[in-house]
Amino acid sequence: MLKRKLLKSTVAIALGAAFALPALAQDKPYKIGVTAGPHAQIMEQVKRVAEKDGVKIQIVEFSDYVQPNAALAAGDLDANSYQHKPYLDQQVKDRGYKLTSVAFTVNFPIGLYSKKVKSLDELKEGARFGIPNDPTNGGRVLLVLQEKGLIKLRPEAGLKATPLDVISNPKKLRFVELDAAQLARALDDLDAAAINTNYALSAGLQPGKDSIAQEGAKSPYVNILVVREQDKDKPWVAKLVAAYHSDAVRQFVKTEFKGAVLTSW
C-alpha cells in the first residue's frame, strides 16, 4: 500500500512538472535586438510599457546592421527593431531569411538643408543641390524631392532612382552627388543639400528646427519591427506591437528627439 501511494505521488509530481514547463518557458524575457542610440532608447520605453501587460523584454544592442537579422534568423533573438523595409527586403533576397515585418515603428527623416534659402520655393533656376552618391540614399532623396513637387521621376525608377531617372525638373536643379557623410561639410558650397539625420546631428544641425523641408513620416523608409515568419501571429508579438504603439512611447519620441525622429503610427 505504501509503495502504491509513493508511486502515485511520484507520478503526480512528474505530471505537475511536465505541465509546468510551458509556463516556465513563457517566463523567459523575449530578446529584442536594436542598434545603439535612438532605437535602444525607444525600446527601453517599450520595455516598460510591455512589462505592464505581462511581456518581459531583454534588449540586446548591436553596433552594426548585419548581425541583428542574422541573430534573429538563427533564433538568438525573438525580434529586432532597427531597419527599414527596403533593407529587410534586400536581406531576405540575398540571404534567404524567413523574417517578416509586423509593425511600423519610427522614421529618421532625411532633412533638406540650406544656408542660402529658407524654403524650397526660394531655390533659383540651376541651383546646385547635394544628394548622397549611394543608390539607396540617393534614390531616397530623389523621392523626397518628387514628393515636394520639385522633380518628377520615371514611374519604374523605384527606390533606387538616380538623376538619370528625372523626367521633369522645372527649376533645372543641378545634382551634385557626394558621399553622404560629406554633404553637411559641403553645405557652404551648395544651394541646398539632403543630409541623413545621423550626419546632420553630428554636424550640429537640428532636423526639426534647421531643415527647410523633411521627408514624410510614412515614407518607404520608415523603420519596422521584425520577427521570424513562424512567430508573427503569436500573442506576445501583438502585445509588443501594442506597447510600441502606445501613447507613452509616442510622447517620449516627440519630447526626446524634437523632430529628428518621427513616429509612424
Q: Each residue of 175-214: pLDDT tens digit?
A: 999 999 899 999 999 999 999 988 898 888 988 899 999 9
| pLDDT at residue 53 tops 80 | yes
What is the number of other CB atoms lying within 10 angstroms of the CB of residue 38? 21
Q: Poorest-confidence range of 10-14, 133-137, 198-202, 260-264?
A: 10-14
Looking at per-residue pLDDT, the higher value among 158 and 11 belongs to 158
Grid-cell match 544628394, residue found: 131
180 — phi, psi (to 5°)?
A: -55, -35
Question: For 168-195, b where at least 16 C-beta lie within 10 A, e where not — what string?
Answer: eeeeebebbebebeebbeebeebbbbbb
**The whole model's pTM is what?**
0.74
What is the number of other CB atoms lying within 10 angstroms of the CB of residue 155? 8
Q: Which pLDDT band holds residue 173 (cuts at 50, 70, 90)?
A: very high
pLDDT at residue 156 in the model: 95
pLDDT at residue 208 in the model: 83
The three-class DSSP label of residue 167 is strand
What domains does the chain contain, in order, with CATH numbers?
2-108+220-263 (3.40.190.10), 111-214 (3.40.190.10)
